[in-house]
Amino acid sequence: MKYIFLDRDGVINDELHFLTKKEQIKMIPKSAEAIALLNKAGYKVIVITNQPVIARGMCTEESLKEIHKEIQSILEKENAYIESFYYCPHHPTEGNSSFTKECECRKPHPGMILKAKEDFHLDNLNECYMVGDKISDIKAGNSAGCKTILVETGDGKIDKWNDAVPAYYARDLYEAVTKFILNEKKLKLFIAAGGKGERLYPLTKDIPKPMVPICGKPVLHHLVDWAKENNICEIIMLSCHFSEKIIDYFKDGREFGIKIHHSSDPYPLGSGGPLRYARKYIDDTFVYLSGDHICTVNLKNMLEFHKKNNGNITVLVHKSTHPWDSDVLQINGEKKVVKFISKHDDHTNAGDLTNSGLCIIEPEIIGFADQEKFDFETYLYPRILEADAKMLAYESDEFMSDMGTPERLKKCEDFLKSKMERVLVTGACGMMGQHLLPLLQKKGNYNILGTYFRPTTNLKELPKDIKIKELDVRDYRAVRRVIEEFKPDKILHLAAQSYPTVSMDEPQYTVDTNIRGTINLFEAVRELKLDPIILVACSSAEYGFVEEKDVPVKETHPLRPLHPYGVSKVGQDLLSYQYFKNHGMKTLRARIFNTTGPKKVNDVCSDFTKQAVMIEKGLQENKFYVGNLEARRAITDVRDMIEAFLLLMEKGEHGEVYNISGEKAYLIQDILNEIVKKTNINPEIIVDPKLLRPTDEKIIFGDNTRLKLHTGWEQKISIDQTLQDMIEYWRKVL
């Protein structure tokens, strides 16, 4: 009997973080179908789940059993069945009960899996899978000796890899089951990535041709994304020229969600020689792809054609607009290749059906090559045809183009941009924009436009290949023109006058920028009849004075701002709700609590870390100027904040408002002490009256429950790490 271990929340049902009653259960699409497939294939399914809600007193064991009974009932309607539910009720620190303790059953410990092994008399856990959405699941499975699969549902997209490497990565449980568990035969992709790209010089002066960026990431990165979409399980990069650049970028593939191996040729071996050099990886049918292409081919359809027609090798072909410098094939009525004409040969009457650089190959084909260095076109293909092996041509008009010349590079770029979500970020030069734009670019699925109010040195901090446009949001015509030209699918509205102290001196400018700017944005979208998702960056300053008994502050707390900046943010907030209710706009409101991080200016953490480094470097006398050290602030790292933005754009409820706050309020005095300790200085502390505000809030600390329930966001970066990173930033720039 075969066994599969599954985490519960984020794998079978939605990750709510606090699932405490059966009415909250919402099944992840196709999870029941996946479990039914496992049952049909003879697998017994066991759930392994941490349930610290019991230790926290939020749920009883009886209620948990009712939840599991309800999940079982839902599954049975789909002919799916769970053999047993194992749960850990403990938490090491939270709660106040007998369940608040360290234990061996709580994942990442493998205790529950080992208990199931004992109960079900399992001989070999190496044949079992553990499927989870958290690194703790993967660590538990790895420790028990299981094969592990990390799914992207639940926390799988945002959890950190650290030292736990899953065997496989999947979008959801259904893909994990159909692509891996029930399909043990794995399809590998070999990518030829050794090209120099001489026609693209100087772009290729310091990098190999396949590493030339298009729309913010290298061509090879796009091909890795394509491979994952087409159920490739492993990739072998065949490199030579600047191979270290490729190895350093992709490493073992864990950051890209797929296993990647590297085979670096000692010297150029032609287009086919690298395959022979990497033959230790060839054990079954495999895919070969030229690494200088953008590919959108549905590999499943091509593979079905290859298998149905018993091909030894199947080559993707399409009609080319430049056959004279391409490899041309001539085929018969059965799609069998009868003649191959290399791009180096005479093309008179050759036709226009060209080799596109994508092949499906059976292992025996490599046996036709008996020399170290060879090309497919001039050596291998002629030998295959001479032996009358079955070389098939698969015709497709799906986009597949090389990027080996400036003109074709532009063609690939235009195609990719046409398929990407268009994201407009206003106020892109601010601290959040400086972190957000590179993150969007790294994710690679976005066509990004950032706007800024006036030229600043911060422009240099933004990625050079992202479009940046100057824009005063107070100018309606200018705002409308930008919206009309770009037609965004998503808007992150960060542009604002964002300093309370400035607002005290310049209230008109603050209100004008923040309120009129937001109205202009909404009106442009409404008049142009567009339908983007719009996230408006609001502020915890809207709450104003808060008594300690009311913290952490919930979104329902009264808004009583203490300065013009807070008033202007209330205006933005209520306008966002009004346009949602009256015009159906997909608005989201993020009430941002104290945010800091590298590149931040004009906040307490930035000011303190900068002063400390200046004293450390002898750039400031040994005097440290401070304001109110008795205030308490919940600090959120900007990198956590922008992750919350992206999760809200994906999962947030339109029209809703969300607090984004650190998990703990820190005394400013303690933050100062930590910075002084980290920089090993001993300054004189001086309270500067100019740094004291008459309306300074005693404590600012928000309740994140709604954000967590709707998106699964968690604060990942500790205050200790944030302060250290800020110190290192100032050490670098000062």
Give the pLDDT confidence of 314-371 residue by residue, as tens digits: 999 988 777 777 778 888 988 998 888 877 777 777 777 888 889 999 999 888 887 8
Residue 696: pLDDT band (50, 70, 90) is confident
8 Å CB contact between 703 and 665: no
C-alpha span between 72 and 701 (Å, rounded): 40
**Averaged pLDDT, 71-81:** 95
Convert the pLDDT of each residue in 537-568 to its tens digit. 999 999 998 888 999 999 999 999 999 999 99
What is the token pair recorded at 505?
């001196």
**Averaged pLDDT, 386-393:** 90
C-alpha span between 100 and 52 (Å, rounded): 9
Ranges 159-168, 421-430, 513-522, 560-569: which has the least confidence = 159-168
Phi first, then psi, for residue 37 (nearest 5°) are: -65, -40
8 Å CB contact between 138 and 21: no
Asked if residue 32 has pLDDT above 90, the reply is: yes
Class of domain 420-733: alpha beta
Asked if residue 520 has pLDDT above 50, the reply is: yes
C-alpha span between 694 and 16 (Å, rounded): 41
Asked if residue 24 has pLDDT above 80, the reply is: yes
Q: Do you find a cis peptide bond into 268, omega within 30 degrees of 0?
A: no
Average pLDDT of the chain? 90
Residue 180: pLDDT band (50, 70, 90) is confident
User: CA-CA-CA-CA torsion for 294, 296, 299, 305, nearest 10 degrees?
Assistant: -100
C-alpha span between 7 and 333 (Å, rounded): 52
Element (H, E) at 641: helix 638-651
Ranges 67-71, 623-627, 712-716: which has the least confidence = 712-716
**Averaged pLDDT, 472-493:** 97
C-alpha span between 461 and 441 (Å, rounded): 14
Per-residue confidence (pLDDT) for residue 695, from 0 to 100: 66
C-alpha span between 667 and 605 (Å, rounded): 12
8 Å CB contact between 295 and 192: no
- C-alpha pair distances (Å), 688 with each of 613, 625, 629, 692: 19, 6, 11, 7
Q: 695 vs 301, which has greater pLDDT?
A: 301
- CA angle (390, 393, 396) in 5-degree steps: 155
Q: Do you find a cis peptide bond into 202, omega within 30 degrees of 0?
A: yes
Q: 444 vs 662, which has greater pLDDT?
A: 662
Convert the pLDDT of each residue in 125-143 to its tens digit. 988 999 999 999 999 999 9
Ranges 149-158, 219-228, 448-457, 579-588: which has the least confidence = 149-158
**Which residue, among 484, 436, 483, has the nearest Cα to 463 in the 3D structure?**
436
Q: Domain ranges in the chain?
A: 2-181, 188-411, 420-733
What is the token pair recorded at 245?
């650049």
**How deeply is 202 buried, as exposed, middle or buried, from its count of CB atoms within 10 A (0-12, 13-18, 19+)?**
exposed
Amino acid at 209: K
Asked if residue 19 has pLDDT above 50, the reply is: yes
Class of domain 188-411: alpha beta
Residue at token pair 């959108």: 296
Per-residue confidence (pLDDT) for residue 90, from 0 to 100: 96
Give the predicted TM-score (pTM) of the model.
0.62
8 Å CB contact between 256 and 247: no
Q: How many CB atoms lie within 10 A of CB 666?
A: 18
What is the token pair recorded at 651?
């999962």
8 Å CB contact between 424 and 454: no
8 Å CB contact between 568 and 510: yes
**Which residue, among 467, 472, 521, has the nearest Cα to 493 in the 3D structure?**
521
**Which residue, among 186, 184, 176, has the nearest Cα to 154 in the 3D structure?**
176
The single-letter DSSP state of residue 489 is S
C-alpha span between 140 and 128 (Å, rounded): 13
Residue 156: pLDDT band (50, 70, 90) is low
Asked if residue 160 has pLDDT above 70, the reply is: no
Q: Say yes or no: domain 2-181 is CATH 3.40.50.1000.
A: yes
C-alpha span between 480 and 466 (Å, rounded): 21
Sign for the pseudo-dihedral over CA of 550, 554, 560, 566: positive
Residue 96: pLDDT band (50, 70, 90) is confident
What is the token pair recorded at 277?
């050099």
Question: Could you tell me the strand order of the sheet in which 533-539 lies?
Answer: 467-470, 446-452, 421-426, 490-493, 533-539, 586-592, 657-660
8 Å CB contact between 28 and 18: no
Q: 176 vs 548, which has greater pLDDT?
A: 176
Residue 673: pLDDT band (50, 70, 90) is very high
- Residues 6 or more apart in contact with residue 663 via CB below 8 angstroms: 634, 704, 715
Same fold, 2-181 and 188-411: no
Element (H, E) at 248: helix 243-250
Asked if residue 161 has pLDDT above 60, the reply is: no
Phi first, then psi, for residue 633 (nearest 5°) are: -135, 140
C-alpha span between 435 and 597 (Å, rounded): 10
Task: Render 191-233 in DSSP notation, one character per residue.
Answer: EE-----GGGTTTTSSS-GGG-EETTEEHHHHHHHHHHHTT--
